[in-house]
Structure formats: C-alpha cells, structure tokens
Amino acid sequence: MASLGANAAAALRSLREQPQRSFLSTLGIIVGSMAVVLLVSIATGVQADVRGQVQDIGVNVLVVIPGRIENGPMNMNLGGGSFLKEEDALRLTQVAGVVRTAPWTFVGGGIRSGEKVANSLLVATTDAWFQMHPEQMEAGRVFAPGDREKDVCVIGSFAKQQLFGDRPALGKPILVNKRRYTVVGVTKDRKGQPSLLSMFDLQNLVYLPYHRLKAFQPDLQTDRIMIQTVPSAEPKALIRQLDAVLAQRLDRQQFQVLTQEDLLGLVYKLMGILTWLLTGLTSIALFVGGVGIMTVMLMSVNERAKEIGLRKTVGARQRDIFTQFLSEAIVLGLAGGTVGLALSYGVCLALYHFTPIKPMVTPGIVALAFSVSLGVGTVFGLVPAMNAARKDPVVSLRSQ
C-alpha cells in the first residue's frame, strides 16, 4: 500500500512538472465527459417531465387509444383517423369497476385573442374529465353539465399568459378557428415555470365542450377515451373486460387500453434507444481523448527513459514503473472527467434557468462520469505503462 501511494505521488509530481502537456492530453476527456453528462442529464430531465405529465392524468385512470403498440409505437395512431366513438365511452361506463369515462378529441387550428396567439393544445372533452381530474383553478370554474350547448372554454395558465398577460381572462372572448368562445375558467399553474414539453402539459391545454363542438361538426372523431376506475379494481382483470366490450364493435388492432405504466414504458423505451444511440456517438470524443492520453504518455516514456533507467538501477521493479505510469494516465483521465463534470453542471444550471430544457444531474450520472473517465485513463494508459516497465535499464541510462 505504501508503494502504491509513493507511485501515485510520483505520478502527480510528474504531471505538475508539465502542466501544459497534461492539460492538452485531458482536453479530449473533458469534451467527451461533458458530451455524455449533458446528454444523459437532459434525457433524465425529459424522462422526469414525461413521468410527471403522465402521472398528472390522475390516479386510477386508464386510456383507450385508436391503435396498438405491441408491434411498435407507429401503430399507436398519434394522428390521423380514429376508430373510437362516444358510444364506446358510454358502453364502457357499464363495466363493473368503471366510475366514469370522458371522450377526448384533439382539435386542430389556432387560438387567438386580438393580435395575440397562444401556442396551446386544443382538446374537446366533457365535464366528466374534470370530475376524474380535479383542477386547481386560478380563476373561474371548469365545465358543468349545463355547458354542453354553450360556446365556453377553460384555458390553461400558459395560454392565459400568452393571450391576456397579467389582465384577467375570466369572461373574455377568444377565437378558435374563427369561432368565439367565452373563458369561464383558468387552470392554475402547478409547476411554476415552463419545460421542454410544456406544450403538452395539462396546464397548457385549452378545453372546449365536446358536445358543443360535435353539434356543428357531426363527423367529429374521438381520439382518446379516458376511464376512471374504482381504487380497488385490479387493472389487468378490468382491462380484459374493457377489451371485450370494445371488441364487440371494433377489431382488436383498432384500439388498446393502456395504464400509466404502459404509457411510461413506451416513452422510456423510445427515449432509451435514442439516448444510447447518441451516447455512442458522443463516446467518440472519449475515444479521441483516450488516444490523446496514450500518445502523450508514450512520448513521456521516451523522454523519461533516463529516469526509468535510474529508478530501476536503484531497485525499482517493473511493477513499480508500470504502476507509476498507469497512475499518471488514470490521474489524467480523472482530472479530465472532473473538469468536464464541473463544466457540465454549470451548463445544466444555465439550461435549467434560462431555457425550457430542465436537465437533472443525479448521483448516478456523477458516478457514470467518474467511471467513464477512470476506464478511459486505465485502458489507454496500459500500453505506455507496459512500454515503460519493459525498458532495459542499461539502454535507458544511455539515452539522451
């Protein structure tokens, strides 16, 4: 142990004697470490954002989609035609264990108030949705059963800010596809600041009455059916019953009942594939950094041949020489990783406070950064260390 400490101390002294070379050799590790940490931190933040949005749908809520995801997400039918109808939602309410259902329709078009436009998602639904998903209100109220035939709307806090700023929105008109709707409620922002996926957040939705929209659009399709279940209902057994009811009218390839875990699993799978792909691409920088360390260390071995010969003459073993040079490579790798992690943390803070991107630097990511840096330093330091350990002391002492 004492010998290991002495070799590590010798390695640090050697690196301090050549600070410029040490810095240049770690530059690739710094860049590679930053790339990996930033990528994984941003992906982790997006996952947390998605998880929060899915969980925000509410407890004991199932979702019926017009397609299936067993064969891949493209079959989920995120856009285009839907095979679901309001009658399906009504029939599902007869299943034991179902409290209520609410149809959802994604409405195309824009939202305008005067010259101002809101970048919000338009959804047509019924008052049942607000019963299964109680909203905290900044002002006004949610839909009531009597609003089915009225041109009213409930807007999110983000849309309110874009359309009205600090002015009150309650009772004010907005235009949706050139049709006038009166604001009867504004949902309260529970997050405090926008994120990368704020457009799809429930606080950024603008709700229209489903039946009022259907009155002048008879062919209005139903894109989703939200189902609230009793807390004691066993999800898998209930899903089988819901499948059986929907299969009476639809082909099983035209719908699927999903839990929140199913939705999260699909998103995490897609993001996991993308994250690993991008991580592999950014790891090229780590490889370049490792090659840089190996090149500098090989040059150092040749330049310090006399030092190696002298150490061996006074009793240093091959193992001691090997350990010293390997320690230098490891220190270079860890130093680059530490600097890269510190810079990445600063960039993450800037992104968090000044952009919609909300990265998350977790203890696991910190451990990943140090592990990668340690691995790169060790792997690319083996060749120079073995080269130094094998040098003949007599030949080394003769070198200039």
Q: What is the mean pLDDT of residues 226-230?
A: 90
- pLDDT, residue 172, reads 93
226 contacts 66 by C-beta, under 8 angstroms: no
Asked whether the predicted pLDDT for residue 148 surpasses 80, the reply is: yes
Q: How many C-beta atoms surround the C-beta of residue 219 within 10 A?
A: 5
Q: Where are the beta strands (DSSP E) in the chain?
A: 61-65, 98-107, 111-113, 116-118, 121-125, 137-140, 152-155, 173-176, 179-187, 205-209, 224-229, 256-258
Please give the mean pLDDT across all residues of the chain.
Answer: 81
| Token digits of residue 23 | 């810095």
- pLDDT, residue 198, reads 47
Asked whether the predicted pLDDT for residue 250 surpasses 80, the reply is: yes
Q: What is the mean pLDDT of residues 68-75?
A: 58
- pLDDT, residue 75, reads 47
3-class state of residue 141 by DSSP: coil
d(CA 353, CA 193): 9
235 contacts 259 by C-beta, under 8 angstroms: yes
Q: Which amino acid is at 355?
A: T
Q: What is the DSSP letter of 135?
A: P
Asked whether the predicted pLDDT for residue 18 surpasses 80, the reply is: no
Confidence of residue 352 (pLDDT cuts 50, 70, 90): confident
CA 162 to chain centroid, in Å, comes to 26
196 contacts 358 by C-beta, under 8 angstroms: yes
Asked whether the predicted pLDDT for residue 390 surpasses 60, the reply is: yes
Confidence of residue 68 (pLDDT cuts 50, 70, 90): confident
Asked whether the predicted pLDDT for residue 254 surpasses 60, the reply is: yes
Helical segments of the chain, H only:
2-17, 19-55, 86-92, 127-132, 157-164, 210-216, 235-247, 260-303, 305-313, 318-354, 363-389, 393-398
Q: What is the mean pLDDT of residues 158-162?
A: 87
| Token digits of residue 46 | 């997006």
Report, in angstroms and rounded to the nearest whole number, the Rg of the chain calculated over CA atoms.
31
User: What does the pLDDT look like over 99-137, one tens digit per residue?
Assistant: 999 999 998 888 998 889 888 889 999 999 988 887 888
Backbone dihedral angles phi then psi of residue 101, each to the nearest 5 degrees: -130, 155
d(CA 361, CA 344): 9
| Token digits of residue 335 | 């130093």
| Token digits of residue 362 | 């977790």
Higher pLDDT, 95 or 311: 95
Q: What is the DSSP letter of 61?
A: E
- pLDDT, residue 123, reads 92
- pLDDT, residue 127, reads 92
Average the pLDDT over each of 64-73, 262-271, 298-307, 364-373 and give the range with the smallest value. Answer: 262-271
Asked whether the predicted pLDDT for residue 77 surpasses 60, the reply is: no
Q: What is the mean pLDDT of residues 283-311?
A: 81
Asked whether the predicted pLDDT for residue 280 surpasses 60, the reply is: yes
Higher pLDDT, 251 or 306: 251
